[in-house]
Structure 1
């Protein structure tokens, strides 16, 4: 009987090492801040531009829905787990040479896992990076948030400026 199994191809799952490194970095920085800072304590790193300020975020990005009584913890956890599963499926289905898209997915996955870990462990997300200028403060964020933002930007760039999928034999369905 002839062998009918297809040869295995390298998939986007090769990029999970990036996710792992960023989740570890995210959690190490959050544990450090929580251990070394008092809640709402702020330390200036670049005068007039950048502080480390320890805050708890009970909502989503920019504290969206943070004052809604607690249901949002499980809502955002459920959403992030769902997105993580979808990203893992996409990474598995993508050829490894779709590196920009795989990198974007790995970054977004890292951010989702980093923030879900906080929600499950503490009931809130630890934020501490505080960018400000002349009294205006961007909402505090963390390494996971940066990974999500950079990953989303890469995904948009990939969607608008890359037509490799049209030319790649595995990209056509």
Structure 2
């Protein structure tokens, strides 16, 4: 029986993580410097740009905890990122691209949000998706990356 190997060649997928993180941070920078906090801007019939601060995690989960646990939450997220990088390295070279893309975009999204959390003390959210008066929790590109990554990993188990 073969022992689990670590494939450092899978680290090349972290380039995708950096692309996601860069795109996330750039969109947040643009929003912070061009939008008024708390004032929605119409984009499409079901999407607004709505600059807000999020003390929680993806899609405003745990946002009620406030800044009180920011350092603890940052440490937990950094630990999760390290575990995901290790899991990416443990994927067989012949593993599905969905797995590799999934891990990579989750890592990139987590890096973008944890950077905000450490640098600003909050995560910058700005995408307000709504249907009529029903609004999905405001999110950002990093949250979208995390969501897409999870979907890719789920799909890779189905393919």
TM-score for both structures, normalised by structure 1: 0.81
**Bigger relative contact order, structure 1 or 2, given CA contacts below 8 A and separation 6+?**
2
List aligned pairs for 1:109-128, cutoff 5 A.
109-128=107-126
2:72 maps to 75
2:104 maps to 106
Unaligned runs of at least 5 residues, structure 2? 1-5
Determine the C-alpha separation between the residues in 1 that align with 2:109 and 2:145: 5
Aligned counterpart for 2:136 among listed residues 138, 143, 147? 138
List aligned pairs for 1:42-57, cutoff 5 A.
42-47=40-45, 49-57=46-54
Higher share of residues assigned helix:
2
> CA offsets per residue over residues 82-133 of structure 1, 9 Å max, x none?
1110111122222333222111100110111000000001010000011111
CA RMSD of aligned residues (A): 1.8
Larger Rg: 1
Is the contact between residue 77 and residue 114 of structure 2 (CA under 8 Å) also seen in structure 1? Answer: yes
Unaligned runs of at least 5 residues, structure 1? 1-7, 163-173
2:17 maps to 19
Is the contact between residue 26 and residue 144 of structure 1 (CA under 8 Å) also seen in structure 2? Answer: yes
Is the contact between residue 109 and residue 142 of structure 2 (CA under 8 Å) also seen in structure 1? Answer: yes
> CA offsets per residue over residues 118-156 of structure 1, 9 Å max, x none?
000101000001111111111111010000001011112
1:166 maps to none
Determine the C-alpha separation between the residues in 2 that align with 1:18 and 1:60: 21
Aligned counterpart for 1:88 among listed residues 85, 89, 99? 85
Q: C-alpha displacement at 1:11, in angstroms?
A: 2.8
TM-score for both structures, normalised by structure 2: 0.88
